[in-house]
Amino acid sequence: MLVDPARRRNVIEEQLHQLCAKVGVGLNVDESLLDQAVFTTEWPYAVTGNFRPEYLAVPPEILMTSMKEHQGFFSVRDRKTGRLAPHFITVANHQLKDMSLIRAGNERVLSARLADAKFFFDEDRKTRLEERVKKLEGVTFHQKLGTMAQKQERVRKLAGFIATQFAQKEDVVRACDRAAALCKADLLTGIVGEFPELQGVMGGEYAKHDGESEAVAQAIREQYLPKALEGELPHTVPGQVLSLADRLDSIAAFFHIGMIPTGSEDPFALRRHATAIVRIVMEGNRRLDLGPVIDHARAAVRDQGFKAAPDSEAQGKRRMTEFLFERVRHYARTLHDLRDDILDAVLRSASMGAIDLVDLLLKMKALQAVTARPEFDPLIIGFKRASRIVEKEQWDRKPVDPTLFKDAAETELHRHMGSSRQDFVQQMAQGQYDKALDALVRLKPPIDAFFNGVMVNAEEAALRSNRLSLLQDVDDLFKSFADFSRIVVQGS
């Protein structure tokens, strides 16, 4: 027995490599299958086998899944065409003098399995996806959230809204709607009943067979992507729209009934859904305000009359937003090496405005870049001082009145605020966040001069109120970019 699993893995990998070279095929690498072989064998010995080429008429995903799930076989592909080849590799527990019996037995069993798969595939194609949609009323999505038909209806409404937010052409919007109208129908097919992991894939295959457009078929196929945290993303716009709609609906629905992930408990994989949403939007560079999308997702669930958990209506959007922001934090921290205080500053500000994840990431990167400048820390110290003052003081805020200024530092700060604000607003509108931050950095000298030369809490009420309003203008300008009070600097 090869006791060391690392040695068994090396032996198996070398045998797979040699057999593929001998047969002239390429291995469809599958780490989970390799792990299975490593931990179910003592003296691993890889053996090749064949199946009838006519089975290649069945979609390769079916054949590969059948080989993997039923028999634990590795599938292989033709090196020239890249297509599935009519061969397989299995890893036996021991080497016998005559391995032909092992090969023949595996071929016989696999032949029966592939025959069953072909039967299911042929039978499934006799019924159009559209004809299966009504039967989704008999499939439960969740006992507190109705049927899969209701789920699909919500997804369709949300997909239509997202597609319009993407500002897509009419044909793309139609493709999104049609794909959403059929997206769950393959759950009632024989193949998906046998291999649930093929849902979506088979829906796309059957949609294509039914004469649906390539865009519709591909969107249905891509709706469950990514299937893992770092898995492949949907490539097409309809596929992205459908995946986003499906995942946002699931989060909205379970939050509505109070089934919110806590600690390590996440039975409905909502964190994985949220991570997928973040990746699809950010890596696809999709400019989308998620605020109205969340509103539509929640409204679709509410309109179907499901009983809401206590406080879900009052707190629902905030909780959903914060849940997605947690995934944004993880994504930005791990993939872009952004600081936690930077993330917190931008996200706290975003919760009060538009939720454009692509835009938020650009702001985070620009803000972290500017923190390296030597004048940044002293600037934030001055800002925090201003912010603390206006936060604790009470006064009747009015527009700043320059005629009340008594100190040159007041005049200078007000003048610089006017020019910096104009520059800031212009750069923000153009998405030039580094330049917008430059406009804020230029306020450091007049802010320092103000605190060095001006008594804010003057005895004269009008003078005091005017100075507080001036500091409030400073606070408002900074916080229109991010909540700078969250930035950690020395001396603050």
- Residue whose C-alpha is closest to residue 395's, from 317, 457, 477: 457
pLDDT of residue 350: 83
Residue 282 has phi, psi (to 5 degrees) of -75, -50
> pLDDT tens for residues 283-332?
999 999 999 999 999 999 999 999 998 877 778 899 999 999 999 999 99
Distance CA 306, CA 145 (A): 6
What's the whole-number mean pLDDT along residues 77-91? 96
3 state DSSP class of 74: strand
CA dist 1 to 8, 13, 51, Å?
9, 17, 31
Residue 491, pLDDT above cutoff 60: no
Q: Which three-class secondary structure string do you get for 174-224?
A: HHHHHHHHHCCHHHHCHHHHHCHHHCCHHHHHHHHHCCCCHHHHHHHHHCC
> pLDDT tens for residues 403-435?
999 999 999 999 999 999 999 999 999 999 999
pLDDT of residue 402: 95
CA dist 366 to 285, 303, 342, 437, Å?
17, 41, 10, 8
| 340 CB-side CA count, 13 A | 1
pLDDT band, residue 263 (cuts 50/70/90): confident
> pLDDT tens for residues 440-468?
999 999 999 999 999 998 889 999 999 99
Q: What letter represents residue 244's amino acid?
A: L
pLDDT of residue 228: 87
Max avg pLDDT among 178-182, 345-349, 370-374, 394-398: 178-182
Q: Please tell me which residue, 287 or 490, carries the higher pLDDT value.
A: 287
Mean pLDDT, the chain, rounded, equals 94
- Please report, rounded to a whole number, the percentage of residues in the chain having pLDDT higher than 70: 98
- CB of 288 closer than 8 Å to CB of 360: no
What's the whole-number mean pLDDT along residues 273-281? 97
Distance CA 461, CA 439 (A): 31
pLDDT of residue 383: 93
Residue 490, pLDDT above cutoff 70: no
What's the whole-number mean pLDDT along residues 222-241? 95
Distance CA 236, CA 239 (A): 5
pLDDT of residue 99: 85
Other CB atoms within a 10 A radius of the CB of residue 9 amount to 17
Q: What angle do CA 405, 408, 413 make, to 5 degrees?
A: 80
- CB of 148 closer than 8 Å to CB of 139: yes
pLDDT band, residue 492 (cuts 50/70/90): low
> Which fold does the domain 373-486 belong to in CATH?
Isoleucyl-tRNA Synthetase; Domain 1 (1.10.730)
SS percent in the chain: helix, strand, coil, step 5? 65, 5, 30
Say whether the peptide bond before residue 226 is cis (omega within 30 degrees of 0): yes
> pLDDT tens for residues 165-182?
887 789 999 999 999 999
> pLDDT tens for residues 114-126?
999 999 999 999 9
What's the whole-number mean pLDDT along residues 347-375? 91
